[in-house]
Every structure is written in structure tokens, then in C-alpha cells.
Structure 1
Amino acid sequence: MPVPEEMTRDELIELVGEQGARITALSEQIAVRDRQITVMATQMAELAEVNETLGERLAKLEHVLSRNSKNSSSAPSKDDGPGRTPPPAKAKRGGASKRKGKQPGTPGANLAWTDSPGDHKDRFPRGVCECGTDLAGARDLGVVDRYQQHEIPPVSVKITQYDQHAVRCGCGRVHTAARPEGARPGPVGYGPNLQAFAVYLMVVHFIPVHRCVELLASLTGAAPSVGFAHGMLTRAAGVLTEVDTRIRTLITLAYAVCCDETPLRVGPRTPKPGKKKAEKYLLVACTELFTHYLLGDRDLATFKAFVIQDLAGSVIVHDRYQNYDSAELGELTHQLCCAHLGRDLDGAGEVYPDAHWPTQIAGALRGLIHEANLARATGRDAIEQTIKDELIKRFRDGVRVGLSDTTGHGNRPGERKARLLLEVLRDREPDVLRFAHDLKIPPTSNQAERDLRPAKVQQNISGRLTSEKRTKDRYRIRGYLSTASKHGRNMIEALREAIRGHPWMPPDPTPT
């Protein structure tokens, strides 16, 4: 191409036109690129926002999956759920691994020899000697070996006919013999032993009613119907109304009462309007001697119908569920369960792995519990004051440090729960440490959790219970048997007494 100085005017005009067209084309390309860059920037911003949202959801999911029975209120039965992080193995005491079986120093158990056997049998050799002589005529040389065998007789249903006679007194009055205790209306029925066995299998060992009938048929030869076995729940519960009322009353007189609640799958599978799940809640109020259940909902109306409203003179030990603090239940004295607090502190330690305060607070609580147990075991009525003051100081210092460490954090999963926990430990210190000042108060609601555990076992074995009314019957019987067992009574015998019409009654509390 010639230089501009050598080009004619027309050639210059043509060149300027071509360059203008090129500039216009390049400008359009730049504008397209700018639009593409803008779109890409918008897409990148949207992707960054989505990525942030997904990151938050992933963090929440990981936090939920990391919850187990050691760092939250999750049930131990859920620890092995898909994707869940199991709790860490317990540290070995002294660093040594524990061998299987009985541990050194623990009490043993054996089938002991008795000097008063129920039967005695002599055994002699039978047959023929090598010489051909019958051993029946051999000379007795005395006992050279002894063996005692503990055995039960074969169980078989025995049919007894009772003929109730009428007699006429000399005065003219007629008297008719009563039927045997536990007899039902009609010409034929099962006796109190078999009735008690059926209720015992269903209520204590959670055997489903069809399997209960099969088991009775296999062991006794009796063939009760499913309807009979299921109906025994109502019959047994019916004779326990007065006992249940007495147990409830005795619980209201207790110095400290442990309470807890758990969901229970009962009734239709379709949730009621306004409910997310088709389930009820089983509440328990208990002491070392008494157990009382109520089937209802996890709402304030159920709590008001339960024994809690009558515990104004007791200390109520619970897991911080909000209904326990409702003003509608009256002025209650609380002891917050330190086992739940300890699990929440373990969870806070996972949220703040570099912080020392979760370990310090939990250690102080465990130390106070240990000292309270030690004081009770040695007959003292209080923890040694200097030790108690030191542990309480460690507790308070840990709470203060935790509160200062959690004022400016973001919204990571678990941070808000840890902050609320610290505020509870600060604002409700008397309710947290009440057990340390009064040894008659248990530091945990473990007794209530133990009394609720059978409900979880039953759900794992039988699944959903179809009848809400039969379930209420089950837990009236269960409360009676649990209370009887806590008083050293045999459960089967307590059931027999109830079915015969003479249920065992818990005694009056011993004055303190």
C-alpha cells in the first residue's frame, strides 16, 4: 500500500472509508465482548451466591450429621444412622485396654450348692458287670459323687373345674361359694397365672400380641386368642386405677422429681390437621421409688394435665424443654439436667475446637457431680466448702470466657446454640448448680431417661402401636410394675396380685 503522501484524494477518501468501517466493526465486536463480559460477571456473581448458599447448606448438613448421643440430645439408637458421625470411643482408664468378660474386683455370680434341696435321689450303676453278674445285687460302697441340678418342671396347662355349691344355714339363709380369685364371667376362662404371664410378656418384654399368643401356646399348650391377650391390657389396667392415682400422689410429695418426654408412634399413620408427624408423646415423672406415665402431645395442654403442675413443693429435674418453664405451670423449682448440659458442651467444643472454655465448664460440672456423689457415699450432708468454691469458680470463669469469645462470630452451624447455652449457664446458674448445694437433688434426669428407655425398645421391636387407648393401658401397667420393682417386688407376682383383684399398693413415704 502506498504511503498517504503519494495517494490521490479519491484513494485517501476510499482508505478513510475502509478504516471507518473497520473501526465500526471493531467497536461492535468490543460492545459484544463487553456485553459478554457483563453477562459472565453476572453469571459468576450468581454462581458465587449459589456456591455460598450450597456451602452454608453443606455446613448445616455436616453439623446435623455430626450430632450424636455424646454431643447432643440425639438418642443412642441414631448413632449408627447413614452418614452420621459416631461418638468417639471412650478413653481407656489408665491407658490399658479392658479385657472381655468379668473384670477383676467385680462381684461374681455362680450356681451355689444348697444344703436343702427340694428333692433327693440316689443313683446306682445299672447293667451287667464284665463277669456277667447283674449290678442290681452288688454291694453298696457309699456315695462317691454328688451333683445338684436346678430344673423347672415341664409347663402344661391344667384344667380345673370349680363347682360352686350353695348351702342353707339352719336359720334358712342360703350361701353360695364364690368363684376362685381372678375368675372371669362365663363358664370357661384362663387363670390368673396365665393372664399375668400374657401381660408380662407384652408390657415388660414388648412381645407383640400375635407372638405372645404363639409363645404361650408353645410353652404351656394353652391357645388363647389374640383378642383375649390384647384385652388383658384393658382388664389389668382397669384394676390399677387406684394404684395409679396413689403413685401420682406420692410423686407430688417427693423432694425431687425427674421428668422427661419422648415421641411415640401411636394411632393412625396420617397426621392430624396442623401436625407434621403422626405421633404422640410419652411423658414420665419419677423418683427412685415411683414411676408415673402420661400419653399425650408435646404441648402445654398435656404438660398441664400431667403431674408437673402439682410439683410446686418439689424440685423438678428436666432437660430444659421450654414447657417446663411455662408460667402456666406455676412457680416451680428447677434443676437443669447436667447430662444434657454436658452433651451440649461437647457439641460446643466441636464448634469451637481451639477454645478451652467448653472443656473447663464441663470439667467443673463433672467435678461437682463427683464430689456430691462422694459426699453422699461417705455420709456427709454437703460437699467440702473449699472444693465446692473452687469448682464453682472454674465454672463461672469458663462461662465468662465463653461469652466473651462468642460475641462477634458469624452464623456457622452450632454457634447460636453454643451462645444460647452459655447464656443459660450464666442466667440460670442456681438452676444449674442446685444439686451442688443440696445433696438430696440429683444432678441429672437419668432416672427419667431410664424409665423412658423401655418405650424406645418397644418401638424398635413392635413399631407403631395401633390403639391410643391400649397404649395408655400399657403405660399404666408399666408404671405400676416399675414402681413395684423399685420397691423390691417381683413383677410377675405383682401382676398376679392385681389380676386376682388385690393389687400391690406402694407404702407411705418414710418421714425424713
Structure 2
Amino acid sequence: MKQQVNDISETLAGLLSELQSLRKTVDSLYTENRSLNCNVDRLLKENRELRKRLEKYEKPPKDSGNSSTPPSKEPIRAEIERRTKSLRAKSDKPVGGQTGHEGTTRKMVDTPDEIKEVSSHYCRQCGRDLSEIEGVLDYVTQEIDLPPVMPIYRERRFYKKICSCGCCNRDYASRRRGGNAITFGKNIRAIATYLSVVQCMPYERLQSLFATMFNVSISQGTLVNIVREMLDKSRPAIELIERLIRESAVVGFDESGCYVNGKLNWSWIAQTVYLTLVFRDSGRGAKVLEDRFGDPLKRMIAVTDRHSAYFAIDFLNNQICLAHLLRNLEYLNDIDKEQTWAKEAQTLLREAIHLRNEKPTDVIPKENWLTRLDDLLKENLDSLRKEFNELKRGIIKCRDYIFNFLDNPAIPSDNNGSERRIRKLKVKQKISGCFRSETGADAFHALHSIADTAWKNGQSPLDAILALV
């Protein structure tokens, strides 16, 4: 009996020793497990960061065909691909001129400035003299050429007349002190302004062109002064354009960055079918338009992109640019070619645009189109990439401004008119880099407004500038 009790004590002691050993093992495993969990968390965090960094390489690049990225910021490869890819659906019509299209060709004038008769002076076979033989007219052609360009020096002599009463009479302005006796005429001033603003030529090239083609020596400083003087003469015309835009019912707006003396400014455009007004401001907010146009904004229907500044203004109504939406949807097609939501949305917008093109003057009810759009917006896109829900939320915000162009034939379905008109400033900036002064920038904006307004009304931009001189 005593032996059995001793065996129990030893057994308990052994079990206690094993339990302590197991506890140490458990503690060791627990510590190791915590260390492993920390490493897993670190690795997961690192994996998420790496995925995020690699995501931009996995996504298709954004360009002017699937986003609002301007062509000037595209790589060369994207530009080449863009030339062979278009958002416009492929037509079943043959390439080239369509049936019924009236072609145009150069026509011969009735009274040419110069006539040159071409005939043979000797026989090509026997060598006999043919100068006395009267030729028979075979055919007639005409050639268009430019005369050799030489400057015209026009001298003006100003005479004063003294009346018997002693009064000195001058029907001309007094000569300015320090002024040069030789000045440049209105044609030179108009051509210099036209080439600088409409053709976006920098002053150095203008100087070279005048010297090479017109044999006129003119400094870059004089060219700058000519353009600045044209700014002062353009103010009445700009005031008229601005007043007419205030009275317009449908106005397209857009804005784009421009650099003036190294500082970022914003070029704004307000345009209609017949008017263009471009101006510069330091801001990009709604206050710019409110300060410029005031209460007439409440009577305007604004055609814009989805920039938030336009929806902070109390317009009569809005129409967002469907071309922008189609590009955004095209990007979703690029990142997920298996989904159908973006393709269905594109089809909806294109059908609406096509219907308006087929019926350019009809008032088309938009309720059915909004119903179809709402059906698309109700779909659950959580299984797709986050970009789908982001665009969906953006469309929901501007849902009431998508199909207004169907109700009113005067409203365009896109804001391409504004973008085309403001593109001239990007061309100028790409060629010259930036504007060196605020006065030079304002001159370009004002004169571009006048030249483009003239072009919209079927007039020559050069003639419009010439009228200012």
C-alpha cells in the first residue's frame, strides 16, 4: 500500500514536469506565431503597395482617345496609334467622295494678267524655219503665281496753310517728338498681327520671314509693339462680342492652363456658333465667369465638360459634353474587355447623338432615354474594377444634364466647338513656350477672339485684323 502511494507522487511529479515542458513549448510556439503573423502583415502591406505601384503599368495608358489627356502630353507611340483609332463607329460607306457630292476645282479666269504664247520655231524633223507660219491653237492652260515682293516706299508730305487771319491750319496730327520719320504701313501691321496670332508664328520667325520674303527689315521689338497697339484698337470689338455673348441663349465654355511669365494662368473661352471670346484669368473657379458675365449667366444654357466650377454657377440649364463621356467609357472598355456595361452606355449615347443628327430641328422627348440610362445606373458594378463605380457616380451627379440636347435643337451634344477654338492657345504655347508678359498674353487672346469670330461668320481673319489698323 505504501509503495503505491510513492508511485503516485512520482507520477504526479513527472506529469508536472511534462506540463511545464509543454507550457514552455506552447509559449515558444505562441511567440513564434506572433512573429509569423507580424511578418504576414508586413508582407501583405508590402504586397498591396507593390500592386498599387504596378497597377499603372498593368492598366492601359490614358490618351486623348480614352480620356481628357491632351494630345500634346501623349507619347509618340500613343500619337501614332491614335491616328489609326477613332471613337467614331465604322461606316459601311466606301472610302472617298460619296455619290451626289459636288466636287470643286480651280477654274480659269477670263482675263489673265499675262499671256504667253508657246509654239515651235523650227521643224523637228527637217529643221525648216517655222517663224513665219501662223500656228493653230491646240489647248490653253493657266498658271497661278505670286509677283516678286518688294516693299513700297510711300512718301507723305504734310503742308500747313496760314490764313490771312493769321490762323495756322493743319488737317493732320502733329508729328510726335522722337518719332521715326519712317513708319510701317497698315498692310505690314496687319500681316504681322495675322501671322503672330492666327498662324502662331513667334517673333524671331516673323522677323526672318519679313526680311526674306518681303525684303523688309523689322526688329522683334517693333513686332511686339505692333501687336500691343492692335490690342488697344481691338477693345471696342471685344466689348461688342462680349455683349452679344451675354445676350446668347446657348453658350459653350471651357478653360485651359497657360503660362504667363512663368506663372500658371487660365485661358477661358465663351463661344457660340457665330462668336468667340477668349480671355485670361489667374483662377479656375466659378467666380471668374460670375465676375465677367454677371446676371446674364442665369439666362444661359451652358455647354461644358464636368468641371465642378460650371455646376456652381446658377445657369438656366446645363448640357455636359457627351464626347468626354464616350472617351471615359472607352477607357473602361480598355481596362476590361469582357464587361458589357460601358459598351451599352456608349451605345445609348451614340444612338441619341445619331437621332439628333437625323432630326436636327425636331424636339425629341428625352424621358425614354433617361429611363434607359437609369436602368444602366441601377446595375451593380462591385464585381468590376473601381473605375467603373467612379464613373458611374460621376454620371449620376450629372444625370439631368446628359440629354438636354434632345429637347432643344439649339443645344449641341458636345463641347467640341469650345475645345477647337481654345486649341489655338495650346498651339501658340507649344511653339513659343509661354507668354513673356501679361500684355502680350491679353493681346493674343483678344485678337484671336476677333479673328475666330470673323472666320465663323465666313469672313477673312486677315481682313478683320486689317479693319482694326
Q: If the TM-score is normalised by the length of the shorter chain, which range does it land in?
A: 0.7 to 0.9
Match of 1:6 in 2: none
Offset from partner CA, 1:301-353 (integer Å, 9 cap, x none): 42333337532212111112111122xx4444211222222223333445665
Distance (Å, rounded) in 2 between the aligned partners of 1:258 and 1:206: 24
Cα RMSD between the aligned structures?
3.6
**Does residue 328 of structure 2 align to residue 344 of structure 1?**
yes
**Does residue 315 of structure 2 align to residue 321 of structure 1?**
no
Query: 8 Å contact 1:213–1:225 — kept in the other structure?
Result: yes
Offset from partner CA, 1:216-252 (integer Å, 9 cap, x none): 1111010100100111111111101011010000011
Offset from partner CA, 1:55-85 (integer Å, 9 cap, x none): 133325644x532223322223334367899
Which of 474, 494, 500 is the matching residue for 2:444? 474
Match of 2:395 in 1: 422
**Does residue 52 of structure 2 align to residue 68 of structure 1?**
no
Distance (Å, rounded) in 1 between the aligned partners of 2:343 and 2:112: 58
Match of 1:285 in 2: 270
Match of 1:213 in 2: 207
Distance (Å, rounded) in 2 between the aligned partners of 1:31 and 1:366: 68
Query: 8 Å contact 1:309–1:330 — kept in the other structure?
Result: no
One-letter code of the match for 1:382? V
Which of 274, 280, 295 is the matching residue for 1:295? 280
Q: How many residues align?
A: 447
Match of 1:405 in 2: 380
One-letter code of the match for 2:363? A
CA apart distance, 1:92: 7.0
What is the SS of the residue equivalent to 1:414?
helix
Query: 8 Å contact 1:127–1:135 — kept in the other structure?
Result: yes
Q: What runs of 5+ residues in structure 1 fail to find an aligned partner?
A: 1-19, 269-277, 500-512
Which of 411, 421, 426 is the matching residue for 1:451? 421
What is the SS of the residue equivalent to 2:298?
coil
Query: 8 Å contact 1:206–1:461 — kept in the other structure?
Result: yes
**Does residue 192 of structure 2 align to residue 187 of structure 1?**
no
What is the SS of the residue equivalent to 1:335?
strand
- % identical equivalent positions: 22
Distance (Å, rounded) in 1 between the aligned partners of 2:149 and 2:80: 48
**How do 1:26-425 residues align onto structure 2 when only pairs under 5 Å count?**
38-59=34-55, 62-63=58-59, 66-80=61-75, 89-90=85-86, 93=90, 102-105=96-99, 106-126=101-121, 136=131, 138-168=132-162, 174-178=168-172, 186-268=180-262, 278-296=263-281, 297-307=283-293, 310-326=296-312, 329-350=313-334, 353-376=337-360, 380-383=361-364, 388=365, 392-406=367-381, 409=382, 412-425=385-398
CA apart distance, 1:111: 2.4
Offset from partner CA, 1:229-276 (integer Å, 9 cap, x none): 1111111111010110100000111121011111112212xxxxxxxx
One-letter code of the match for 1:195? R
Which of 454, 459, 462 is the matching residue for 1:489? 459
Distance (Å, rounded) in 1 between the aligned partners of 2:172 and 2:466: 19
What is the SS of the residue equivalent to 2:378?
helix
CA apart distance, 1:369: 2.0
Question: Cα gap change, 1:67/1:130 in structure 2, threshold over 3 Å: closer, same or farther?
Answer: closer
Distance (Å, rounded) in 2 between the aligned partners of 1:94 and 1:231: 51
TM-score normalised per structure 2: 0.83
Distance (Å, rounded) in 2 between the aligned partners of 1:363 and 1:168: 82
Match of 2:9 in 1: none
Distance (Å, rounded) in 2 between the aligned partners of 1:424 and 1:351: 23
What is the SS of the residue equivalent to 1:316?
strand
CA apart distance, 1:421: 2.2
Offset from partner CA, 1:441-496 (integer Å, 9 cap, x none): 11211110110111122222222222122111111000011111111111112212
Distance (Å, rounded) in 2 between the aligned partners of 1:419 and 1:205: 41
Distance (Å, rounded) in 1 between the aligned partners of 2:327 and 2:370: 16
What is the SS of the residue equivalent to 2:403?
helix
TM-score normalised per structure 1: 0.76
Question: Cα gap change, 1:303/1:254 in structure 2, threshold over 3 Å: closer, same or farther?
Answer: closer
Offset from partner CA, 1:110-149 (integer Å, 9 cap, x none): 322222323334445457988787654x122343332211
What is the SS of the residue equivalent to 1:366?
helix
Distance (Å, rounded) in 1 between the aligned partners of 2:91 and 2:357: 22
Moved more, 294-303 or 478-487: 294-303
Distance (Å, rounded) in 1 between the aligned partners of 2:349 and 2:113: 54
Offset from partner CA, 1:139-193 (integer Å, 9 cap, x none): 22343332211111111112121112234567775543547xxxx9541111111
Distance (Å, rounded) in 1 between the aligned partners of 2:348 and 2:267: 33
CA apart distance, 1:199: 1.0
One-letter code of the match for 2:368? K
